[in-house]
Amino acid sequence: MKPTDRTDRTDPTDLTDPTGFTARRLLDGYRKGEFGPVEAVRAVLERAARIQPEVNAFVRLTEKDALAQARAAQERWRRGEPKGLLDGVPVTVKDILLMRGHPTLRGSKTIPAAGSWDEDAPSVARLREHGAVFVGKTTTPEYGWKGVTDSPLTGITRNPYDPSRTAGGSSGGSAAAVALGAGPLSLGTDGGGSVRIPAAFCGIFGLKPTYGRVPLYPASAFGTLSHVGPMARDAADAALMLDVIGAPDARDWSALGPAPGSFAAALTAGVHGLRVAFSPSLGGQVAVRPAVAAAVRRAVSGLAGLGAYVEETDPDFSDPVDAFHALWFAGAARVTQRFSPGQRELLDPGLREICGQGARLSALEYLAAVDVRMDLGRRMGLFHERHDLLVTPTLPLTAFEAGPEVPTGSGHRRWTGWTPFTYPFNLTQQPAATVPVGRDADGLPVGLQIVAARHRDDLVLRAAHALYEAGVATAPPNSTAAA
């Protein structure tokens, strides 16, 4: 079923159902006394429970803790003393990131649920400090290894627009939850597109910030490819969330220092005068489906109409997939290095296969991939001396059938075959976001990717927000923005 046909979706004109509200609208309602966090969190929990049988977005819902957090937030709002920027806002967390009091199983049967689980990941800790309410942990493929979301532990996560299709991955549960009103904000991780891929397939906004902007602990086995980022209904909510989670944490030695200013406050600067490079196919290297290409081109025309200087040109690089595979597969091998034969038998077969490939790589082969990565970073650094932003499709296709790693009949061997626009910018550590800019003939969302130079997350968010403000980017059907 299409989302507008679903009985568990709100009417987009309904201004009373909090599951359709952005985080900003919820905060505005709390401030004005129109409703409270308990009402909002109850509605989100009910929505999450209703969507779970069909889309399978959650590993678990944390209802008891969420309601206790909501009651505490409601009392703070009653006193006029909100705890932080997100007090009482329902959020979800991908089950790759530690969340105190609940197991983090990473989609794997190899991790025992028993234990103290007494530590938050840095991004989760920052959300907790600002009063966010944690309603559940969302699904991931095993150890976040691929671009669709299914795992031996939790099964298949499905697309909100058509449950026969994939939600994408590896943050697929987070994307589906946000799209269907089960919390306006979610924490995802992105090592090769894992925030942007599912956000594009599910019609929401997703940002992979500059590496280190959001601290990560424990360190990812995939090393400095892996970023933590916000997933939201629009760019303004994501900017607000980044203001919270983009703070240093002593546990991450590679984290950046404090942000130079508020990302939310910088949104209104717009795109007038920005130099935008539009690369529809990375110089003919990518075959993009016509419906995707047309929707992205229309959105780029919208940027030009807002005053950006748009030039159709391509960045100077060839597909770095072999280097990415070397780094990615070696990381996967490191995850499972000490597993027993019995544990290996429990793994997703595809993960087991790439672990074997990664274990056979020599140190010199790994360092050759690092050389490719450094050269790609140099090329993109020079490119951004001439262009403030690079715009591409997020993906060359819309959501395909749920279950397989690659579309049936595509000829691709691995998920990287259909994600050529995303993983290069994990190699370079640049900020990159996906913005929903239309749908294909089957009603499936199309994403546009915006990339900036390292440390210019503000430009990515500004451009995305301008597209939302102009009506070029579209929020999920049940989303209601702040007044």
We report the CATH number of the domain holding residue 244 as: 3.90.1300.10
Q: Name the catalytic one among 123, 170, 174, 279.
A: 170
Q: Scanning the structure block, which residue is given the tokens 């309410």?
A: 133
Q: Scanning the structure block, which residue is given the tokens 């079923």?
A: 1
387 domain residue, yes or no? yes
Task: Supply the DSSP symbol for 11.
Answer: P
The pLDDT value given to residue 376: 98
226 domain residue, yes or no? yes
Query: Tokens standing for 340?
Result: 């027993």
How many Å apart are CA 174 and CA 229, to the nearest integer? 11
The pLDDT value given to residue 383: 98
**Could you list the mean pLDDT of each consecutive 10-residue stretch along the chain, which spans 483 residues?**
42 71 98 98 98 98 98 98 98 98 98 95 98 98 98 98 98 98 98 98 98 97 96 98 98 96 97 98 98 98 98 97 98 96 97 98 98 98 98 98 98 98 98 98 98 98 98 80 40
What DSSP letter does each residue of 386-420 carry, written as one string?
H-SEEEEES-SS---BSSSSS-TTS--SSGGGG-T
272 domain residue, yes or no? yes
The pLDDT value given to residue 11: 45
Q: Name the catalytic one among 123, 194, 220, 479.
A: 194
Number of residues in the chain: 483
Q: Which domain holds residue 40?
A: 3-469
Cβ pair 66, 134 in contact under 8 A: yes
How many Å apart are CA 218 and CA 426, to the nearest integer? 19
477 domain residue, yes or no? no
The pLDDT value given to residue 475: 85
483 domain residue, yes or no? no
- Count of CA atoms in the C-beta half-sphere (13 A) of 8: 21
- Count of CA atoms in the C-beta half-sphere (13 A) of 272: 4
482 domain residue, yes or no? no
The pLDDT value given to residue 7: 32
Q: Name the catalytic one among 94, 137, 146, 208.
A: 94
115 domain residue, yes or no? yes
Task: Supply the DSSP symbol for 219.
Answer: P
476 domain residue, yes or no? no
Question: To 10 degrees, what angle do helices 321-335 and 349-359 make?
Answer: 100
Q: Scanning the structure block, which residue is given the tokens 């709002």?
A: 77
Partners of 42 in beta bridges: none
How many domains are there within the chain?
1
Residue 21 sits at φ, ψ, to 5 deg, of -95, 145
Cβ pair 387, 429 in contact under 8 A: no
Q: Is residue 94 flagged as an active site residue?
A: yes
Report the candidate in 131, 128, 40 with the shortest Cα–Cα distance to residue 79. 131
Q: Is residue 262 flagged as an active site residue?
A: no
Interval 21-76: pLDDT, tens: 999 999 999 999 999 999 999 999 999 999 999 999 999 999 999 999 999 999 99
Cβ pair 314, 283 in contact under 8 A: yes
